[in-house]
Chain A
Amino acid sequence: MKEVACISGVELLMDYLEGVLPPDLRAALEAHVAGCERCAAFVASYRETPRILRDATASTLPDDIEASLKAFVQRFLKDSRPR
């Protein structure tokens, strides 16, 4: 079986999580992470990063922008109506 180290394992993570890693590399990565506390911790944080940033950047539409969009849409709907 192929050998994977922390440094090469990190480069395989995305393809691993997307399910596009060849089976031999997949098995080698899983074997490495199972025996490497640092990689297990790294993988956990790599997986959490998108969620943390998704939650942190989830803007809500402000009422004034919603109102101005509504007025804009009503205006162009009126203008596009057949006369």
Chain B
Amino acid sequence: MCRRNTSGGTILEPVSVDKPASDSSDEVLAARAVAGDASAFETIVERYQGRVFRLACRLTSETDAPDILQETFLQVHRHLPSFRGESQFGTWLYRIATNAALMHRRASARRPSEPLDHFLPRFDERGRHAATPAELQVVSRADELLDRQFLAGKARDVIARMPDIYRDAFVLRDLEEMSTADVARALDIEPAAVRQRVHRARLMLRGYLSDLVGVKS
């Protein structure tokens, strides 16, 4: 189906496969789509549409997500012949979706963002956490303590209000669970910068959750 080239990448070759498209690997589907098999490409779309939609919602908004979804699969189809298997197909497609979302956001009117620094942890004069262990611990149960719909709305809202540099790193690393190395490549920054941004986002969002459950920590 796929042949490894000498540099370690995969050369996709059109092949005839008897298995139904839905059972095939991404790489086989990609090869069939390149060869002009429309149903193979439609299977790729079905396989990834939910994840791309979710990513687009998190990086932009539910209003913008449908456009990003279409743009992503248009770009995937356009660039499929150049996919060489140097990364996993899903990673490659995700990178295209991330770019589509970031490009879309840049082209849109600038949304207001907030520093959210007031949600960072507080310390006393000796450098100890100002909050008690019970107050610090309660955030871990925020999803048990808060109404699900209320939490969903607040979570989407606060992520949308974060400065872009923190939002992008947090969404890709922590919500989409990409590796730090993949996030660094997608955002064109160093892995250390990804860690620094994700860390600050986690601190702010942790403090925000704490505030939501009624504790200042």
Contact = CB atoms under 8 A, between A and B. Distances in A.
Interface of A: 5-8, 10-11, 13-15, 18, 20, 37-42, 44-46, 48-50, 52-61, 65-66, 68-70, 72-74, 76-77, 80-82
Contacts of B73: 69, 72-73
Contacts of B41: 73, 77
Contacts of B217: 42
Contact of A41 (B36, B136, B170, B175): B136
Contacts of A66: 49
B195 A42 contact: no
Contact of A46 (B50, B196, B206): B206
Contact of A39 (B129, B139, B143): B129
Given A7-B127, A39-B129, A65-B69, A57 B206 contact: no
A52 B133 contact: no
The size bracket of the interface on B is 35 or more
Contact of B180 (A18, A50, A74): A18
A59 B45 contact: no
Interface of B: 36, 38, 41-42, 45, 49-50, 53-54, 57-58, 62, 65-66, 69-70, 73-74, 77, 121, 123, 126-129, 131-134, 136-140, 142-143, 148, 151-152, 154-156, 159, 170, 174-175, 177, 180, 195-196, 198-199, 202-203, 205-206, 209-210, 217
A44 B202 contact: no
A50 B42 contact: no
B129 A49 contact: no
Q: List the 7 closest pairs (A to B, CB-CB), nearest first.
A: A14-B199, A45-B139, A50-B174, A41-B136, A7-B127, A56-B155, A41-B137
